[in-house]
């Protein structure tokens, strides 16, 4: 990735189905996150996923597996999460490629590629339903091979970098007006991801820090 710094400030996950599966990080110092690639924790507890090295990737995974699916009932738990991030490109407006919140069957995605593959898939497994990978991408580049709608969008990735759905990044202000939000502006933003296991519906909300908090 050309991303200079991607920071995550805090991370909050709640699985509605079982109350003991809830955790909050206010800084990642003692989180025991599983890190790979060029990801690192800064001394003040931020998760820094990438640095100035081009075409590289970094992951931070919650250390323990979380059960999302009840094998006897086949239902997937409702869950919600929120986190803060900032994408700070090395040169204004030519950052890339993006970050993804991911749920995967493995801790680490060692065969994934950086750049347009977002550290999620590679050129042979993208689109394969055996991946069992779900992601919410915050993508700052338009890649036509993945049918990207523009160079600043939020997408739902189900086993595939061709998003099942995507929308330009933005938020609704207090008057109900849609405002564009540049993901790689360098400013902190907050994301909420909420899945309703009964309705099988995912909602993703984005807001600049000044609106979100
Ligand atoms: C990025 O991080 C990796 C791993 O820590 C390191 O080897 C590399 O030198 C760093 N790149 C830059 C430009 O700082
Ligand atoms: C799985 O679903 C069954 C039937 O709804 C329920 O009895 C059981 O407690 C569930 N198990 C877990 C681990 O949630
Ligand atoms: C792509 O990733 C899969 C794992 O999901 C791996 O089996 C395969 O070898 C990888 N392909 C390449 C070309 O790296
Ligand atoms: C999808 O992945 C599975 C497991 O890695 C593999 O056996 C299968 O051949 C892949 N399918 C395609 C179409 O590449």
38 lines ligand 1 (CB under 6 A): yes
pLDDT digits (tens, 9 = 90+) for 146-172: 999 999 999 999 999 999 999 999 999
Which domains, from first to last, does the chain contain?
3-212 (2.60.120.200)
Ligand 2 first shell, C-beta below 6 A: 70, 72-73
What does the pLDDT read at residue 210?
A: 73
What does the pLDDT read at residue 212?
A: 45
Q: How far is ligand 3, taken at its centre, from the CA of residue 93, in Å?
A: 31
Q: Give the Cα separation of 139 and 137 in Å (integer).
A: 6
**In the chain, which stretches have pLDDT less than 50?**
1-10, 15-19, 212-213
pLDDT digits (tens, 9 = 90+) for 112-125: 999 999 999 999 99
The residues, any chain, with a CB within 8 Å of residue 69's CB and separated by 6 or more, are 75, 76, 77
CA distances from 59 to 7, 10, 40, 105, 120 (A): 12, 15, 9, 14, 10
Q: Which helix (H) or strand (E) holds 212?
A: helix 209-212
CB-count exposure of residue 92 (10 Å: 0-12, 13-18, 19+): exposed
If you take atom 7 of ligand 3, which residue's CA is the nearest one? Answer: 111
Q: How far is ligand 4, taken at its centre, from the CA of residue 131, in Å?
A: 9
What does the pLDDT read at residue 177?
A: 95
Q: How far is ligand 4, taken at its centre, from the CA of residue 41, in Å?
A: 34
Q: What pTM, to 2 d.p., does this model score?
A: 0.90
Ligand 3 first shell, C-beta below 6 A: 111, 122, 124-125
């Amino acid at each position: 990735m050309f991303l200079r710094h991607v920071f995550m400030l805090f991370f909050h996950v709640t699985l509605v189905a079982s109350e003991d599966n809830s955790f909050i990080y206010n800084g990642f110092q003692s989180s025991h996150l599983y890190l790979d690639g060029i990801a690192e924790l800064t001394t003040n507890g931020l998760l820094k996923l990438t640095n100035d090295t081009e075409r590289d990737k970094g992951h931070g995974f919650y250390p323990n597996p979380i059960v999302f699916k009840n094998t006897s009932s086949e239902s997937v738990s409702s869950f919600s999460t929120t986190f803060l991030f900032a994408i700070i490109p090395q040169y204004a407006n030519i950052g890339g490629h993006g970050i993804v919140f991911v749920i995967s069957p493995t801790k680490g995605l060692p065969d994934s590629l950086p750049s347009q593959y977002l550290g999620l898939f590679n050129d042979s497994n993208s689109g394969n339903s055996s991946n069992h990978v779900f992601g919410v991408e915050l993508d700052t580049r338009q890649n036509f091979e993945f049918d990207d709608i523009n160079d600043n969008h939020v997408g739902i990735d189900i086993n595939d970098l061709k998003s099942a759905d995507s929308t330009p990044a933005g938020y609704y202000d207090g008057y109900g007006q849609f405002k564009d939000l540049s993901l790689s502006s360098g400013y902190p933003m907050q994301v909420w991801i909420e899945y309703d296991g009964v309705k099988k519906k995912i909602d993703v909300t984005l807001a600049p820090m000044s609106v979100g908090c």
